[in-house]
Amino acid sequence: MPIRLIGRTTDFRGKTLWEILGNLKDHGVGRLVQRNRFQRYPVPSFFRILRVEPLPDVEGSKKLSEVRKVRAVVEKVFCGVQYPRPVELESQTYKADFQLVPKHEEAALWKSIEQVEVQKRILPSHVEFPPLLKYMLISEMKAKHLPVTEPKLKLKLKRGDQGRNYRLAAEVETPNAPLSETHQPHLYEIPKTT
């Protein structure tokens, strides 16, 4: 009889973070760990362990996500960009997707991120409103007897570590990374009336 697998599949390959760090001297402080999920990018991504502490088991829990968790403070390098501050990993540490970087390969990883040149993306500071909302705004301008202008949505960037590689264009600057309007451009086409 053939074997039939039931349930969700996963593409995780490796061990949980605690399985790796629990077997190392000083719980792996100073060592490099990679997630297999990030190996799909051409530029390396990895974590350098700064501090580790196991979390207590949740009483009576049999869920894998609550039994094998660990809190780790790491220095994160994602796609060749090193984060300026240490990052705390906790919620993903139970996933069996980590692998230890051998000591003889650590120097090559650090050297490879030094050679990465990150180009800052300049995004437009204003974008068009969706057609229906634009129509409503123009109708409102006409109703209030205001001069009718083309309404534009002013963009704001969320503060945080994620926004280091992009910024909004200044008034005299042209963006080098335009935002795509939508995945469904036919929604932005205005039908011709006869």
- HSE-CB at 75 with a 13 A cutoff on CA atoms is 12
Above 70 in pLDDT, residue 185?
no
Above 60 in pLDDT, residue 81?
yes
Above 70 in pLDDT, residue 175?
yes
Other CB atoms closer than 10 Å to residue 166's CB: what's the count? 15
Mean pLDDT, the chain, rounded, equals: 80
- The structure tokens listed for 15 are 């061990």
Q: Where are the beta strands (DSSP E) in the chain?
A: 32-35, 46-54, 70-78, 81-82, 87-89, 98-100, 121-123, 126-128, 152-154, 166-168
What is the C-alpha separation between 63 and 73, in angstroms, rounded? 24
Above 50 in pLDDT, residue 187?
yes
What is the C-alpha separation between 114 and 72, in angstroms, rounded? 25
pLDDT confidence tier of residue 8, bands split at 50, 70 and 90: confident
Above 60 in pLDDT, residue 163?
no
Listed by start position, the domains of the chain span: 17-114, 121-188
Above 50 in pLDDT, residue 63?
yes
- HSE-CB at 134 with a 13 A cutoff on CA atoms is 14
Higher-confidence residue of 48 and 125: namely 48
Average pLDDT for 60-69: 62
Q: Which of 52, 56, 53, 55 shows the shortest CA–CA distance to 75?
A: 52
- HSE-CB at 176 with a 13 A cutoff on CA atoms is 7
pLDDT confidence tier of residue 161, bands split at 50, 70 and 90: very low
* Cβ neighbours for 188, distance < 8 A, ≥ 6 positions apart: 128, 130, 131, 181, 182
Above 80 in pLDDT, residue 88?
yes
pLDDT confidence tier of residue 184, bands split at 50, 70 and 90: low
Q: Which of 59, 65, 60, 56 shows the shortest CA–CA distance to 17?
A: 65
Are 74 and 89 within 8 A, CB to CB?
yes
Average pLDDT for 32-45: 87
* Cβ neighbours for 24, distance < 8 A, ≥ 6 positions apart: 31, 100
